[in-house]
């Protein structure tokens, strides 16, 4: 049994013994970042031996590869149980370090512009495997103060484990990461957005919009066929209403697909009056895919139209573009070489 995926209460219930054991064990795993029961030196030896027989401390991620870029972005490839390959990225911003985590190995959403979905879904990652990505990177980069669930996988397609991870990483007995510093990204799974608003109101929601209307969106994101934009925007309004937090809309700028000035005006009309923020992203071009990034000039003009309509807009810095930093790219190179 994976004790690193359990809350303090669950550990206490499971291991029995003294009432404070749950907190002690949780603290060793999520604060002291130990990976073996031997290191939990304030537990009696016979008790540690007993724990070893029943529990494992998550899956010990093995670092396979690290790739650094000039802008201090670092990409990590980890090997988890069952030979699963996980990809994570560390990014350095003026406000500190941010880690982009994978929530699934692969993805079944099939977005046409994304490398992660090209081989389908292998499996969901456990809460402890999400934590382990942060903790492994933290050993090298101690100043992580933001976590974004925007790597391989659709976090809300692995809803229970995603929510459990947020509980574990923000727990006062462990890493104590503020929930406000956690961003959950989704391609727009409406029922889970509503659920998240009700259960995890402090986290930030980022929605991959990538289009100003359903006809373009359905081509880019097959999941959009089940979740039309008017309903998606209603779910986002509910999120804002419930959480008092603005929703971030991610918009990858793809040449000739979604980047015309007509598209910009359409998007501006759609989002006018909403409490939101648009991130325009330079599209990360993928080998073998006939999609190109919009030019810087087009992105600027697109941004001007949105800003001119009163919509908060940022052009996101393209980090790590020389190291296959778009989600799934590096993982795919390893899978292809097997
Ligand atoms: S963009 Fe996100 S949801 Fe879409 S295929 Fe890639 S990982 Fe999955």
Tell me: the pLDDT tens digits for 152-172? 999 999 999 999 999 999 999
Q: What is the pLDDT of residues 120-148, one digit of tens each?
A: 999 999 999 999 999 999 999 888 999 99
Atom of ligand 1 nearest to the CA of 107: 8
Summarize the confidence of residues 261-287 as an average pLDDT: 93
Quote the ligand 1 centre to 264 CA distance (angstroms).
23
Q: Which of 87, 122, 129, 154 is catalytic?
A: 87
Please count the residues of the chain.
Answer: 338
Rounded to whole angstroms, the Cα distance separating 51 from 103 reads 28
Look over the chain and give the mean of its residue pLDDT values, rounded to a whole number. Answer: 92
Q: What is the pLDDT of residues 5-59, one digit of tens each?
A: 999 999 999 998 788 999 999 999 999 999 999 999 999 999 999 999 999 998 7
Rounded to whole angstroms, the Cα distance separating 314 from 43 reads 50
Question: Could you confirm whether 327 is annotated as catalytic?
Answer: yes
Q: Which of 100, 131, 152, 327 is catalytic?
A: 327
Rounded to whole angstroms, the Cα distance separating 336 from 242 reads 44
| Nearest alpha carbon to residue 248 among 177, 314, 194 | 314
Is the minimum distance from the CB of 131 to ligand 1 under 6 angstroms? no
In this prediction, residue 72 carries a pLDDT of: 79
Q: What is the pLDDT of residues 289-308, one digit of tens each?
A: 889 999 999 999 999 999 99
Please give the span between the terminal C-alpha atoms of the chain, in angstroms, as a whole number. Answer: 30
Q: What is the pLDDT of residues 185-214, one digit of tens each?
A: 999 999 999 999 999 889 999 999 999 999
Contact assessment for residue 33 and residue 139, using Cβ atoms and an 8 Å cutoff: yes
Is the minimum distance from the CB of 111 to ligand 1 under 6 angstroms? yes
In this prediction, residue 49 carries a pLDDT of: 95
Contact assessment for residue 5 and residue 29, using Cβ atoms and an 8 Å cutoff: no
Reported as type and span, the H/E element at residue 185 is strand 182-186
């Amino acid at each position: 049994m994976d004790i690193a995926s359990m809350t303090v209460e669950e550990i206490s219930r499971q291991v029995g013994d003294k009432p404070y054991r749950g907190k002690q064990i949780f603290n060793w795993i999520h604060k002291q970042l130990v990976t073996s029961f031997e290191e939990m030196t304030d537990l009696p030896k016979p008790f540690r031996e007993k724990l070893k027989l029943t529990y494992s401390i998550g899956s010990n991620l093995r670092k396979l590869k690290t790739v650094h870029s000039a802008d201090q972005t670092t990409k990590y490839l980890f090997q988890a149980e069952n030979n699963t390959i996980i990809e994570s990225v560390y990014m350095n911003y003026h406000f500190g370090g941010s880690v982009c985590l994978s929530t699934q190995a692969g993805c079944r959403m099939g977005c046409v512009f994304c490398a992660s979905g090209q081989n389908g879904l292998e499996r969901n990652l456990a809460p402890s495997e999400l934590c382990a990505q942060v903790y492994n990177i933290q050993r090298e980069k101690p100043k992580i103060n933001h976590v974004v669930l925007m790597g391989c996988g659709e976090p809300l397609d692995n809803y229970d484990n995603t929510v459990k991870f947020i509980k574990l990483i923000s727990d006062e007995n462990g890493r104590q990461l503020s929930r406000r510093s956690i961003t959950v990204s989704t391609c727009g799974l409406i029922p889970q957005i509503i659920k998240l608003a009700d259960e995890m109101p402090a986290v930030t929601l980022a929605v991959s919009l990538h289009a100003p209307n359903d006809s373009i969106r359905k081509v880019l994101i097959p999941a959009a066929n089940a979740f039309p934009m008017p309903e998606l925007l209603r779910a986002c309004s509910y999120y804002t209403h419930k959480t008092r937090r603005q929703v971030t809309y991610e918009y990858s700028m793809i040449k000739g697909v979604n980047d015309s000035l007509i598209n910009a005006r359409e998007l501006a009309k759609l989002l006018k009056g909403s409490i939101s923020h648009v991130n325009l992203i330079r599209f990360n071009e993928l080998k073998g895919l006939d999609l190109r990034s919009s030019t810087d000039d087009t992105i600027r003009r697109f941004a001007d139209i949105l800003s001119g309509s009163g919509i908060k807009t940022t052009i996101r810095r393209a980090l790590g573009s020389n190291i296959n930093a778009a989600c799934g790219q590096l993982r795919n190179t390893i899978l292809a070489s097997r």
